[in-house]
Amino acid sequence: MQQDALKVEGISCGYGRAMILNSLSLEIKQSQCVAMLGKNGMGKSTLLKALCGFLPKKQGEVYIEGKRVTHYKPHRIARLNLAYAAQEQAIFTELTVKENLSLALAHPDTFDQVFIPVGHLFPVFKERLSQKAGTLSGGEQKMLLVARCLIQRPDIIFLDEITEGLQPSVIDRIAEALDWERRSHGTAMFIIEQNIGFALRVSDRYLILKQGRIVDSGDSKAEGAAKKVYGYLTV
């Protein structure tokens, strides 16, 4: 039987004595995209930080591609084939677009080859490889973060509110890029979102996080899913 791309079993963690996540469990199957939604401050980013080794777990286990990584430090997680775009993550403004993208590559000399599909998905970068990334617009910088995740050719991608502050056309482009990535490579994805339309469009399942617990979940394409999720984010 194939291993889950991600399996979280009853993790609890927080900052100091404040527990933010309470015995939280979830699974992401191979090639599956799961979206987690929740209001501000519910613990969504804390969960990704914990999965990526930035926070110690008080209890529970984390498995990535079947490997137990519960107590791995961030640098060991980074060596797994996982791409993570953190919510507060900036691109490296002093580096060029190409240098930012190349950071994701174990062998930078493969750049021209691996850039071909990414250049199709985000044509804006084709003419701008030597431009300083700090001079890109906010939306272009978010696209660069997604492009960097894709160019890594990861087994699993974590995106933390990648659509925050973006106009609809840029959100569409990112959704198309993620759809392409899944169709082409079957990459598993864990998407943290507050944009309900985007989240349900790109995912197979949704999870609702409330005060550090998953309080509901469902099929993203089920009738009424958007209304149900909207209820959790507004009440």
Q: Is 194 in the site for Mg ion (CB under 5 A)?
A: no
* Residue with Cβ nearer ligand ATP (57 or 182): 57
Would you tell me which residues interact with ligand ATP (CB under 6 A)?
15, 20, 38, 40-46, 87
- Please, is 223 exposed, middle or buried when counting C-beta atoms within 10 Å of its C-beta (0-12, 13-18, 19+)? exposed
Contact with Mg ion (CB under 5 A): which of 12, 23, 30, 87?
Answer: 87
Q: DSSP label at 3?
A: P
Smallest distance from Mg ion to CB 175, Å: 20
20 interacts with, out of ligand ATP, Mg ion, none, CB within 5 to 8 A per kind: ligand ATP
Q: What is the DSSP string of 5-31?
A: SEEEEEEEEEETTEEEEEEEEEEE-TT
* Residue with Cβ nearer ligand ATP (164 or 219): 164
Question: Which is it for strands 205-210 and 33-37: parallel, antiparallel or unpaired?
Answer: parallel
Phi and psi for 91 in degrees, rounded to 5? -75, 170
* Residue with Cβ nearer ligand ATP (38 or 154): 38
* Residue with Cβ nearer Mg ion (38 or 53): 38
Helices 111-121, 138-151: inter-axial angle, 10-degree rounding: 130
Q: Is 45 in the site for Mg ion (CB under 5 A)?
A: yes
Smallest distance from Mg ion to CB 88, Å: 8
Q: Is 41 helix (H, G, I), strand (E, B) or coil?
A: coil
| Residue ranges in contact with Mg ion by CB under 5 A | 44-45, 87
